[in-house]
Amino acid sequence: MAILTIEELAERLPPYQAIAGLDLGTKTIGLSVSDLGRRFATPRDVIRRVKFSIDAEALLSVAAKEKIAAFVIGLPVNMDGTEGPRCQATRAFVRNMGEKTDIPFVLWDERLSTVAAERALIEMDVSRKKRAERIDSAAASFILQGALDRLASLARDGTSDD
């Protein structure tokens, strides 16, 4: 398994395969999956964290079922650009996943993704209780949609040089 930049992923990614977005929390893993054309991120049920081996098995089960070609995982960088303990935990999770899968990971700056997800759920008039249940997957969708938009931009830039 490799940790790739979004640009490296754009070069290596086969067409018509889905990508998963992940929002790694201490209690849950928010999950989102793209369509095969990689235009839209759709939230999926969260994975309740138990311990790493069980979490990894659940994640890889989804990856096999959805035919996931890559994971985009939110990297919780501080607002000033520094990395704290949550970034270290995310990097450790990705390193440990590398021992279990060849599916590449992209680390994606997730600043304000949870805030944006919460605002979107509030605008949709989702109750506070339902928001708590959906926030992690909604954040994963924001993370993934940002990466999908960047991949689309890279594809457009690549075709304009021809």
For residue 105, pLDDT beyond 50: yes
| Per-residue pLDDT, 138 | 82
For residue 28, the cross-strand partners are 48
Are 37 and 52 in contact by the 8 Å Cβ rule? The answer is no
User: Over the stretch 14-73, which tens digit does the pLDDT of each residue have?
Assistant: 889 999 999 998 899 999 999 999 999 999 999 999 999 999 999 999 999 999 999 999
Q: Which two tokens stand for residue 17?
A: 């395969």
What was the pLDDT predicted at 64? 96
What backbone phi and psi angles, to 5 degrees, belong to 112? 70, 5
The total of other beta-carbon atoms located within 10 Å of residue 72's CB is 30
Q: Evaluate if residue 159 carries a pLDDT over 60.
A: no
- CA dist 30 to 7, 8, 134, Å? 24, 24, 8
Statement: residue 112 has pLDDT above 70: no
pLDDT of 156 reads: 86
pLDDT at 94 over 80: yes
pLDDT score at 132: 59
pLDDT value at 85 more than 90: no
Q: How confident is the model at residue 77 (pLDDT cuts 50, 70, 90)?
A: confident
Q: What CA–CA distance (Å, rounded) separates 141 from 126?
A: 16
